[in-house]
Amino acid sequence: MANTDILMIGHFAKDQIIVDGNATTASGGAVTYGSIALRRLGLRVAVVTRLHPDDFPLLDELRQAGVEVFATPAAETSGIANSYRSSDMERRQTRLLGFAGPIQEADIPDIEARIYAIAPIMAGEVDLPLLKTLARRGPVSLDVQGFVRVRAGQDLVFRPWAEMAEGLAHVTYLKVDRAEAEHLTGQTDLRTAAAQLAAYGPKEIVLTQSSGVTVYAGGQFYHAPFSPRSLAGRTGRGDTCFMTYLGKRLSLPPAEAVRWAGAVTTLKQEKPGPWDGDLAAVERLLAART
């Protein structure tokens, strides 16, 4: 029996959220937004991460949620400044604040997981050899931003993933957003892009955009909308969506898992920080969409 349901591998982030020039510091990264959402769905979660020792107390939020944390000291903590205009929380500018360095195979604990979720913020956190090592343990999920979002000075820019064909051959669940899908495939139609990416090996493709989430699995497409009343919690949308989908896929078929992902992500976007875990609100939203 697995020791945990999902083992997440990626950098914890100490981010800045800047709206109309007003900045606040917030914990971030998929290992924050995703792991807490999974715990609030009742799943067992462990996180492997790197950060500066001075910031280790920031991991208490994860532990208090019931996440098992394996942290390695680094020279600095990763972070991104996300700048928005309140009139359009869909568009953001990003600036690099720090990078905690590559995660090593020795950092990965000797525990079994039902899914090994590679959840980096940017390129350089996880390399191809580590991806292959994890794939030998069990099914791997991967957010492609951690291989195409590249550091260039203080900027984060898109670059093609040179090892994409070899890397995706070891991935079971792949997450991309609309921009990444277009860049990687040259296709503007999401369904065409999904089929093209699946040809490299992933069995399920999870595509996010501002209007909702689309999943390509078993040759079929499934979709769920995002319908938030506010975008105050826009940061962390994709991380929450993907991890909710993965968590629910452990017990539900794609068609139902994507509905949960759409509903949880809708509610998460209405409040800053990780999803608050209001399952009754999710059930009401799911019922309204039936």
Both tokens of residue 234?
């826009």
Section 150-178 average pLDDT: 95
What share of the chain in percent tops pLDDT 90?
A: 86
pLDDT for the residue numbered 1? 63
Residue 145 has pLDDT above 80, yes or no: yes
Banded pLDDT at 92 (limits 50, 70, 90): confident
- Tell me how far CA of residue 113 lies from CA of 147, 179, 197, 239, in angstroms: 23, 30, 25, 19
pLDDT of 84 over the 90 cut: no
| pLDDT for position 106 | 96
Tens of pLDDT, residue by residue over 246-256, are 999 999 999 99
> How many CB atoms are closer than 10 A to CB 56?
14
pLDDT at 21: 83
Question: What are the pLDDT digits (tens) for 27-77?
Answer: 999 999 999 999 999 999 999 999 999 999 999 999 999 999 999 999 999
In terms of Cβ atoms closer than 10 Å to its own Cβ (0-12, 13-18, 19+), residue 80 is buried
Examine the pLDDT at 87 and tell me if it is beyond 70: no
Predicted confidence (pLDDT) at residue 99 exceeds the cutoff of 90: yes
Q: Which CATH architecture has domain 4-288?
A: 3-Layer(aba) Sandwich (3.40)
Residue-wise pLDDT tens digits, 100-109: 999 999 999 9
pLDDT 10s digits, 112-125: 999 999 999 999 99
Domain range list for the chain: 4-288
Q: What is the pLDDT of residue 290?
A: 84
The answer to whether residue 270 scores a pLDDT higher than 70 is: yes
Both structure tokens of 182: 């277009």
Nearest CA among 68, 86, 118 for reference residue 22: 86
pLDDT at 199: 98
CA proximity to 47, closest of 6, 8, 2? 8
* pLDDT at residue 170 tops 70: yes
Above 70 in pLDDT, residue 88?
A: no
Mean pLDDT of the chain: 95
At 214 the pLDDT is 97
Q: Using alpha carbons, select from 101, 118, 114 the residue that is nearest to residue 8.
A: 118
- Residue 83's pLDDT is what? 85
Does residue 198 carry a pLDDT above 80?
yes
Residue 245 clears pLDDT 90, i.e. is over it = yes
